[in-house]
Structure 1
């Protein structure tokens, strides 16, 4: 039975989260933090609790799908 590396496990843990930090989201979607932050704001997926900023991954992904190029 193949074992998961620590990095793979961490990646899976982030993918299954409903809310992501800006850093987690930027890493997950392979983009810079500023680009991720801008898109998250446009998607209305940003939640601010005190000083903590969280992004709703489901809302963000739905918005991201609007940029899909069909061939």
Structure 2
């Protein structure tokens, strides 16, 4: 195993190891691995800028997509303990293109 993946090997199964070897994945593979629906995968992939289209084939660059997921998970976790109005304002800023904080 390369990089720092070996540090988390006790938490990973064969599916995780095989998925980590791939640089780019299809919508279907991302849907199966992340457990999300097709529309959220497509929406988040385009929002993150991780989509590469080669002819009719559409691929998602995994490292960019996962970084996007991590950033948005942090935003939601930071705001879960706060009030609902603050969460709605932060999400509205994200949609408008402004950064959080």
- The alignment's TM-score, normalised by the length of structure 2, stands at 0.57
Question: Greater relative contact order (Cα 8 A, min sep 6): structure 1 or 2?
Answer: 1
Deviation at 1:49, TM superposition (A): 0.3
2:92 is matched with none
Give how far 1:34 is off.
1.0
Structure with greater helix percent: 2
Which portions of structure 1, spanning 4 or more consecutive aligned residues, are displaced by more than 2 angstroms? none
Relative to the length of structure 1, the TM-score reads 0.78
Q: Distance in 2 between matches of 1:55 and 1:30?
A: 15
CA distance in 1, matches of 2:61, 2:38: 15
Question: What RMSD in Å do the two structures reach over aligned CA positions?
Answer: 1.5
> What is the number of equivalent residue pairs in this alignment?
63
Q: 1:57 Cα shift?
A: 0.4
1:4-36: CA deviations, max 9, x gaps?
xxxx64x23223211000000011111011110
Q: Which runs of 5+ in 1 are unaligned?
A: 1-7
Q: Give 1 or 2: higher strand fraction.
A: 1
SS of residue paired to 2:58: strand
CA radius of gyration, larger in: 2
Query: In the alignment, is residue 20 of structure 1 matched against residue 22 of structure 2?
Result: no
1:45 maps to 50
